[in-house]
Chain A
Amino acid sequence: MAPARFSAFELLLLKSRYPPDTASLLLLAWVYVSKRIALAEDQRYLEVLANGYRHSQDLDTLLEIARADLTAIQLAAEVVLRERVDEQAHPFLRRAIGLATSEGELSLRNHHILRFLSDLSGVTPGAFARLFREVTGRPLTPPGDPSRQDYWQQDEIAEPPPEESAEKHAENAPQPPQRPHHWQRWRLRIVSAHARRRESRLERDRLRQQARQRAEKRRQEEERLERERQAEAQRQEQARQADARRQDQERQAEDQRREQARQEEAYRQEQWRRQQWQQATGAPQPHYRVRLALQVLELEEHASPIEIKRAYRRLAQRHHPDRFHGQGDLRVSLASQRFQRIKNAYDYLMTTT
């Protein structure tokens, strides 16, 4: 009997109020841990969620588990798979997408993890792309492939996007509240303080909007450049493939011609050698027409007239066109050609020998 040693996540699951919530919280922690830049607001978001699921003191353990333990993630995925219905999957996926894209760009790790989560929730690729666009406002682009040369070349060409999070954090730093230095005029001071705070808030909003617009323009330009590059690369590849195909075809045609020429030469050489040998041995060769006629009548070299007659009768019976009368005009015409050839052969043989 093995002692019952439950791992940290198994204990959490067993003690939790609603295991699917704990499991989805672990998966969101996994998404958070795989981000490139982890913002403070994401941490706060996770804390709020954990409070909602009554796991406020367990969030740190969950983050540790998400970093290290693959079996726990598998267990969480199994729980989500078996006990979550399709309609309830969309809020979970939305949260995951929002968490993954809060810094702007989706990291490669998170791209693959989100695909895994959408498969877990039974969401098709089209529905997932729609969800992504709803949550982020940007269309879903396929992940880059770091095992390809093009990925690294494009990385070198494109400028790195500027760090907007630094700007935002600088603007988010709270302005110090204005204290009344002389308490006789404290009302005026407070009113002016309110006005200043409102102005600073408006300025902050304006700067944030400008930064966002700039970032959007840069992203659009980058997307356009990428699309153009991809289109050019595709065209070049197609041109190369077409050239390769043409060259292959030409080579094949040349090979075939060479082979045919060789065969013909070999045949001619054989014929020449046979003539030479026969002339040397001295046996008088029958005329080629005679040989042809004997071949048509399917006879050997020296055939007596009786054999010729018998062969002619046999073949004429076999190939007479009236035998193929019901099988169509094509058969009849072919048979009549064969019959003519046989008849000519017999006539020739009868007249010459």
Chain B
Amino acid sequence: MRDLYRRLGVAKDATPDTIVRAAERCNNRMLKADALSTLGNAAHREAYDDLHDLLGELGRLRAGLGMTHAPHWQGDAANDFSASPHRIVVRQELLTRQLEIALGRHQTRWRRRCWLAFAIVIGLIAAHIAGRWMS
């Protein structure tokens, strides 16, 4: 499936008028016919948008998983909807790192609480001495 919005140079949420004008302007006969029959009709456009979203998601998923050149991801869909792998995150590594951080904090919680209590006690003593010294 081709990304008609990108090929017409039109935003995804464009009004029907914009799309018809862009379709009239383009030179490719097949592209013009496809765009008018798909995006000109409201019901057709809804179905197309649904699949367009799904393919965009799949493109990003594949980029994140390193499957951009897999055997099932070929043809027009792969050409138009592949994402670049630069800005993609590996979720599992994120999760393990978060987990390690949480675990570390959990394991040192009593030590941190002892230090906090100690600091509070010292502060109280200092306040008491300062009060004595003032009056």
A: which residues have CB within 8 A of B? 1-2, 4, 6, 10, 13-14, 34, 70-71, 73-75, 77-79, 81-82, 108-109, 112-113, 115-116, 118-120, 124-125, 128, 145-149, 152-153
Contacts and interface: CB of A to CB of B under 8 A. Distances in A.
Interface in B90-132: 90-92, 95, 98-99, 101-102, 105
B90 A78 contact: yes
B72 A119 contact: yes
B42 interface: no
B61 A73 contact: yes
B10 interface: no
Given A116-B61, A149-B38, A4 B105 contact: yes
5 contacts: A1-B105, A74-B61, A108-B51, A116-B72, A119-B71
Interface of B: 1-4, 30, 33-34, 37-38, 41, 44, 47-48, 50-51, 54-55, 57-58, 60-62, 64-65, 67, 70-73, 76-77, 90-92, 95, 98-99, 101-102, 105
Contact of A119 (B2, B70, B101): B70
A109 B51 contact: yes
Nearest to B36: A149
Nearest to B55: A112
Contacts of B99: 4, 14
Given A14-B99, A74-B65, A149 B33 contact: yes
Contacts of B73: 115-116, 119
Contacts of A13: 95
B72 A147 contact: no
A146 B95 contact: no
A151 B86 CA distance: 35
Given A6-B98, A108-B51, A147-B48, A79 B34 contact: no
A80 to B, nearest CB: 10
A14 B103 CA distance: 13
Given A78-B91, A116-B72, A125-B72, A147 B50 contact: no
Nearest to B94: A75
Contacts of B71: 119, 124-125
Contacts of A128: 72
Among A78, A109, A113, chain B packs the most CB atoms within 10 A around the CB of A78
